[in-house]
Amino acid sequence: MRLLRLIGPALGAALALSLLPLAADAAPRKRAKAKPAPARVAAPAPAPAPVANPYGWLVTVNAKGVLSPKFAGSRSYGFVGYPTLSFRRPGAPVVWSSPDDSISLRVVETPRFVLGPALAYRGGRYVAQDAALRGLHKPRWTLEAGVFADLWIMPDALRLRGEIRRGLRKEDGFVATLGLDAVQRFDRLTVAIGPRARFGDARFMRHQFGVTALDATRAPRFAPHRPDAGLYALGLYGSATWRANESWAYTLHAGYDRLTGGAASSPIVRGVGSRNQFMVGAIASYTFEWAR
């Protein structure tokens, strides 16, 4: 009993010490405060796409240079340089056209067919170009007005174009051209090639290639010649355009015509000219937006 009284308090103290960790585990724990979620930053709204100005124009200024026969049927060549302008609405697709197309305005237009007026310049024939022409009548330079039509047999790949025009002077007569172009695009490079056929009415043929009785009297080396209407040239034409950027483009083009029929048999062509007609040219084009 005395032993129990001696060890009892010690056992009780040890038991109490052993229960302290359990009591600590049983005590309620304070919850850690939850950290607020980071606020989401709204993504900036995309900038609105630029809207084309419906009242503006994209103006293309072309500087052109051409080396070609001095007159129809000539065997000598001359160089001429001149500017042209073209217009289209911003956002409108760029429709391919050939450098030898007449100046034209699209009045009726569908994805495959275009129709409208056309205007072209035709040079004259003068003694200053070749002294051998002395005594012959002189076809003067003229403007030819008419209509054109484009038919895209294969969209943006194969185009058939026809033009019929009449010179502004009475003696000029009617001419018509028919051409087929195969067009191929390679990124910034566009190339095209195709045949050409040229026709003239009797007035045009006699004015350009004929020799009148008065001509033969004044220039005896030329026999009288009175050609009829019809096909007067067949040829081939090609072009290559490099678009450097949205503003600048550069074009090289060349063509060959072989005179036929009454043009080929003309004493002018046979005597001082050539049935083979070549041309080569270059164009630098600059496009800018003009708003009003």
% of the chain at pLDDT higher than 70 = 81
Average pLDDT of the segment spanning 262-287: 97
**What is the overall mean pLDDT for the chain?**
86
- The yes-or-no verdict on residue 13 having pLDDT over 90 is no
Residue 248, pLDDT score: 96
Residue, of 115 and 3, whose pLDDT is higher: 115
CB 194 within 8 A of CB 237: yes
Lowest mean pLDDT: which of 42-51, 61-70, 240-249? 42-51
For 218-265, the pLDDT digits (tens) are 999 999 999 999 999 999 999 999 999 989 999 999 999 999 999 999
Residue 292, pLDDT score: 67
Which residue ranges make up each domain of the chain? Answer: 57-290
For 153-172, the pLDDT digits (tens) are 999 999 999 999 999 999 99
- The yes-or-no verdict on residue 6 having pLDDT over 50 is no
Average pLDDT of the segment spanning 37-65: 67
Measured CA to CA, the distance from residue 291 to residue 57 in angstroms comes to: 6
- The type of residue at 139 is P
- The yes-or-no verdict on residue 39 having pLDDT over 60 is no
Residue 45's pLDDT band (cuts 50, 70, 90) = low
SS3 track for the chain: CHHHHHHHHHHHHHHHHHHHHHHHHHCCCCCCCCCCCCCCCCCCCCCCCCCCCCCCEEEEEEEEEEEEECCCCECCEEEEEEEEEEEECCCCCCCCCCCCCCEECCCEECCCEEEEEEEEEECCCCHHHCHHHCCCCCCCCEEEEEEEEEEEEECCCEEEEEEEEEECCCCCCEEEEEEEEEEEEECCEEEEEEEEEEEECHHHHHHHHCECHHHHHHCCCCCCECCCCEEEEEEEEEEEEEECCCCEEEEEEEEEEEECHHHHCCHHHHHHECCEEEEEEEEEEEEEEECC
Average pLDDT of the segment spanning 210-218: 96
Residue 119, pLDDT score: 95
Global pTM value: 0.78
Q: CATH code for 57-290?
A: 2.40.160.40
Residue 87, pLDDT score: 80
Residue 44's pLDDT band (cuts 50, 70, 90) = low
